[in-house]
Structure 1
Amino acid sequence: MLAKPSKAYSDILNDRSAFPLAIFARDAPSVVKAQVLAGGRGKGKFNSDGKGGVRIVSSPKEAFESASNMLGYNLTTKQTPPEGLLVNKLYIYKSVDIADEFYVAITFDRDRYMPVLLISDDGGVNIESNASRLQRFWFNLYHGITPEITSYIQAQFGFSDKEMAPITHILHQMVKLFREKDATLLELNPLVRTPDHEFFCLDAKFNFDNSAKFRQRELFALEELEPGEEDEYQAAQLGLSYVRLEGNIGNVVNGAGLAMATNDLVTLCGGKCANFLDVGGGATKETLSKAFDILQRDTRIKGILVNIYGGIVRCDMIAESIVSAASAIGGFKVPVVVRLQGTNSEKGLKLIQDSGLDNLVVEADFDQAAEKIVKLTETS
């Protein structure tokens, strides 16, 4: 990894710890890659010099110039937002002579309920436009890649017996990783063959099952968040389910079904929800405080609808938590409509009414609550 240059160029040349040693092999070109959570970097463009996110450099000076136009600037690709992603890290490695590029991946075929190995001899930056050339090999996760499959791969792609040894090893290691780490996608692109018939993986993309976080704690501890995902991550740490939407009305509900119904009703009333935030059955002062804090930091939000059905959780406890949470965050900055139904709902609504909090409205009826928050949002 390479940090943003802060020294004068002459100082950096004299301090080789500032760059990987490969950069200083003047007779061996190196590759500089922007490290962002998106594909298509090679064909992308920086807002600094219009060049791509993967560059070949042949000298320390050229490396410094490239790094200066990459670090701290936005890279736009087909997989990034229109404004691109900020590049704070670079990866530098020695350049490799390439004879052939292959695409190799393992994922799940959900139609067949089994994993599938995907291989193409047209890997690299054009794989998405040449997906029709992918060869598919379905296999049993327990047995892995069998000799029959490797024999077919050798015949299909013309690998020699000597070349099949590293290819087979790579495939077996991919299956092992896929199985042991609860992966949903392992993608090597490109896996290249050199003129000397050696194989190198020049880039890779791995996806893992979010439902397996409890089994893969060390793995998920390495996760880097995409821009805008910080709130979702913080909410998940407290057991909240948060999804950012495009509107200006924040929602706090308990239950995914109630969240979808609330979103639909707000839309029917002429509003648009800014989020899906499910506090679940374990709503507490801590979780509600965090929920309100997340919503109040969102500058798009002009109003909040709290829609809670008290079954597992009592409505009076929810009301106490709302009042405590409001005090903890210094009160509500936008109008908040609270609708409580279920166990002790009347007691809960009275607790909120008697709290004396500003910007807080109670409404027992679902339709009326949705209409009120839409109107309050329009006038705020």
Structure 2
Amino acid sequence: MIRAGVVLTRLPKTRNSRSSPMKQLRCLTLHGYQTQDILRAHEIPVPRGILVRTPVEAQNAVKTLGKSCILRAQVLCGHPDKLLFEDGLRGGVQTVENPEQGLALATRMLNRQAVSDTIRYRSLTVSQVLVSESLVHQEQWHLAMTIDRENYCPVVIISKRNDNSSQDETVLRNLPKGGSSFTFGFSEGITEDLILRISKFLGVESVEETNIGDILTNLYKIFREKDITLLEISSLARLNTGLFTCLDATLVVDDDAAKRQPDIFGLRDTTQEVHDEVRAEQHGLVYIKMEGNIGNIVNGAGLAMATNDAIGLHGGASANFLDAGGQATKETMIQALGIVMGDERVKAILINIYGGITRCDMIAESIIGAAQEMTLAVPLVVRLQGTNSTEGLKLLADARLGLHVESDFGRAAQRAVELAQP
């Protein structure tokens, strides 16, 4: 059964690199074994594989496959081969030659904490490993099918296998030397001409002697039917027979397709997500953990990024990006403050609200209600501007809750930086 992966958020970079949000996508990412299940269902060749959750299961899987096998840790943040496990094992992709080695390596991988330079602020617990047969091959390629946003069309990107390939849509901007991209039309799909051009690039002498055309055609069928933004075959291997097979793959689904793809989005795996981000989402909030020590609560993504920039301008760094949206009720503020204060790094909190559709006096009442029900463990700066901001600021000042009230954007950011200093 397919189980879904992590939901993340892409946000534009701020000018202050120290406080810029993590480079992420708000989308659904599937595990490698899940993607292989989909490929297999669409008659795309993949190695035989068995998903295991215990070392003994791994040992038995190697016995069943009966040959040299590859163990791949199933993680959703970055490439598994970049993982460093708590006992010093490097790499979440390991080759074993017999069941005993499978047992030993799976013991060091399963239910163990792992970190990577692509995973920030936390470690992951590897709970699943895919044991796949190791296939003898001549060469490996990296193939990605995604959207060329400059030309408004799908594109196939191919390069020689590069261990540093990134699993995101920056693949277009980071095309390795020796790589090539092939754009095509949504309506035309995979044409004979496109297959011939890609075959020539891969060094295939005769299209009739290989299966690359079928692979491309079926990949595009998945890409279109499942609302995919990125279908990445990180290891497209040419076997000694001349045929191609997909050794490892990753699939990313457009978040706007949630209603159209309930079978996928309804099977989300939250075990590897940031707990606070999941909690925030449950309350209609958008929360992204960052690197600084100043917590932010704002209404609107644009205001959040501007707040990050203002804090950076005054020498500080944001600990988070939290967008409360237009529903900044008392309950929302309680949840938002609880999430932000739950981060031990936070030394001050800046609530920066612009009242457009939302009235600032209503926001002020929500903040007061939340502050009265909670223990504010760190200084709290509140800046209000917009509809009924004068009334809102007066309500906050009269509440005598020890809040630092500001109407000026720059002054509020500067005050938060000052209060966060040790």
* TM bucket normalised to smaller: 0.7 to 0.9
User: Which of 192, 197, 204 is equivalent to 1:147?
Assistant: 192
CA positional deviation for 1:338: 1.7
- 2:275 and 2:377 map into 1 onto residues whose CA distance is 21
Tell me what 2:53 maps to. Answer: 3
Tell me what 1:104 maps to. Answer: 143
Q: Matched residue of 2:176: which SS? A: helix
- 2:215 and 2:273 map into 1 onto residues whose CA distance is 35
What do the CA deviations read for 1:31-85 (whole angstroms, capped 9, x no partner)? Answer: 2111223455447654535443222223332211111122244556664559975
Matched, 1:180 2:218: no
The answer to whether the Cα contact below 8 Å between 2:75 and 2:272 also exists between their aligned partners in 1 is: no
Tell me what 1:352 maps to. Answer: 396
What do the CA deviations read for 1:303-323 (whole angstroms, capped 9, x no partner)? Answer: 111122222111221122212
- 2:379 and 2:66 map into 1 onto residues whose CA distance is 66
User: Which of 121, 130, 136 is equivalent to 1:91?
Assistant: 130
CA spacing shift, 1:124–1:75, aligned 2, 3 Å: farther
Tell me what 2:239 maps to. Answer: 194
Tell me what 1:303 maps to. Answer: 348
Q: Matched residue of 1:280: which SS? A: coil
The higher radius of gyration belongs to 1
CA spacing shift, 1:24–1:140, aligned 2, 3 Å: same
Q: Name the amino acid aligned to 2:421.
A: E
- 1:41 and 1:264 map into 2 onto residues whose CA distance is 33
Tell me what 1:249 maps to. Answer: 294
Matched, 1:369 2:412: yes
User: Which of 136, 161, 184 is equivalent to 1:123?
Assistant: 161
Tell me what 1:378 maps to. Answer: 421
CA positional deviation for 1:168: 1.9
Range moving further from structure 2, 219-228 or 147-156: 219-228
Range moving further from structure 2, 126-135 or 142-151: 126-135
- 1:342 and 1:77 map into 2 onto residues whose CA distance is 43
- 1:162 and 1:217 map into 2 onto residues whose CA distance is 38
- 2:121 and 2:395 map into 1 onto residues whose CA distance is 47
Q: Pairwise mapping of residues 23-172 of structure 1 onto structure 2 (< 5 A)? A: 23-25=62-64, 27-42=66-81, 45-75=84-114, 79-80=118-119, 85-120=124-159, 122-123=160-161, 125=163, 131-156=176-201, 157-158=203-204, 160-164=206-210, 166-172=211-217
The answer to whether the Cα contact below 8 Å between 1:315 and 1:348 also exists between their aligned partners in 2 is: yes
CA positional deviation for 1:162: 4.5
CA spacing shift, 1:348–1:203, aligned 2, 3 Å: same
CA positional deviation for 1:151: 2.5
CA spacing shift, 1:86–1:235, aligned 2, 3 Å: same
What do the CA deviations read for 1:300-344 (whole angstroms, capped 9, x no partner)? Answer: 11111112222211122112221232345x231111122223323
Q: Name the amino acid aligned to 2:53.
A: A
Range moving further from structure 2, 84-93 or 316-325: 84-93
- 1:210 and 1:59 map into 2 onto residues whose CA distance is 41
Range moving further from structure 2, 67-76 or 226-235: 226-235
CA spacing shift, 1:126–1:158, aligned 2, 3 Å: farther
- 1:27 and 1:126 map into 2 onto residues whose CA distance is 31
Q: Matched residue of 1:133: which SS? A: coil
User: Which of 271, 275, 298 is equivalent to 1:230?
Assistant: 275
The answer to whether the Cα contact below 8 Å between 1:336 and 1:361 also exists between their aligned partners in 2 is: yes
Supply the RMSD in Å over aligned alpha carbons.
Answer: 3.2
Tell me what 2:307 maps to. Answer: 262
Which ranges of structure 1 fall in alignment gaps of 5 or more residues? 6-11, 13-17
Which ranges of structure 2 fall in alignment gaps of 5 or more residues? 1-50, 167-173
CA positional deviation for 1:145: 0.9
Relative contact order (alpha carbons < 8 A, sep ≥ 6): 1 or 2 greater?
2
Tell me what 1:339 maps to. Answer: 383
Provide TM-score, normalisation by structure 1.
Answer: 0.82
CA spacing shift, 1:339–1:153, aligned 2, 3 Å: closer
Equivalences, count: 364
- 1:134 and 1:346 map into 2 onto residues whose CA distance is 59
The answer to whether the Cα contact below 8 Å between 2:145 and 2:231 also exists between their aligned partners in 1 is: yes
The answer to whether the Cα contact below 8 Å between 2:112 and 2:126 also exists between their aligned partners in 1 is: yes
- 2:398 and 2:132 map into 1 onto residues whose CA distance is 65
Matched, 1:288 2:339: no
Q: Name the amino acid aligned to 2:204.
A: G
Range moving further from structure 2, 107-116 or 138-147: 107-116
CA spacing shift, 1:221–1:124, aligned 2, 3 Å: farther
- 1:82 and 1:353 map into 2 onto residues whose CA distance is 36
Percentage of matched positions with identical amino acids: 42
The answer to whether the Cα contact below 8 Å between 2:319 and 2:346 also exists between their aligned partners in 1 is: yes
